[in-house]
Amino acid sequence: MRTAYKCRAYPDPEQMSVLNRTFGCVRVVWNRTLAWRHARYHGEQVKTNFTQANAYLTAMKATGELGWLNEVSSVPLQQAVRHQQVAFTSFFAGRTRYPRYKSRSGRQSAEYTRSGFRYRDGRLFLAKTDTPLAFAWSWPDIDPAAIDPSTVTVSRDPCGRWYVSFAVDMAGPGQLPATGAVVGVDLGIKDFAVTSDGQKIANPRTLAKRERNLAQASGMRHPEPRRSIRWRRSGRLPRA
């Protein structure tokens, strides 16, 4: 079983520079490989496998036009090609839509496998960086030095917030011994669930709370002078 721990990350200026270059290279590799796949399929009526896409990445890095792809770690670039192959496999199986191009203004990410990072004593060192990446661990009952991540994904959202996600392979929960007891569960509206032995599980009413927040935020927008700074800020409504 695989689980992930996502934390806020706080890279220093040097790390930001390396990661931003890596994001740009990942985006270029993804978009150019996607365009190449599209042209091959519609022009030659042939599909592209991972080996061919990886060879195209090697060819791109060997050209003078895209020689700067060698300035960043090769691991995130290879992972971008691998993820694109998975996306096309899911598309042809009818599970997802056609892969789209990556935008500079959207969420940026780079995935590192074990060959692209070093994790020791709770400190994370990424390829092409000399100092550990600072992050805020949010699970007090889990020692960050005790985990052994198989992959690490660094991302930046459109608002400029940085995150790091640790994917950890761990043993699944064991099956509980059979007790021979039987219980019935009735799902409802007033109570989320009622068991046959009389236990009631309260309805959290999450949607109702979100609707109240949305209505309150919508009402706060009107009293402000139109086009003022506070009016524009009040238009950023919470997600329902």
What mean pLDDT is predicted for residues 124-151? 94
- The residues, ordered by sequence, that sit 6+ positions from 201 with a Cβ below 8 Å of its Cβ are 191, 192, 193, 194
| 3-43 per-position pLDDT tens digit | 999 999 999 999 999 999 999 999 999 999 999 999 998 88
Record the pTM. 0.73
What mean pLDDT is predicted for residues 213-224? 66
Kindly list the domain boundaries of the chain, sorted by start residue.
2-12+108-169, 15-92, 175-204, 213-240
| 58-91 per-position pLDDT tens digit | 999 999 999 999 999 999 999 999 999 999 999 9
pLDDT for residue 159 is more than 80: yes
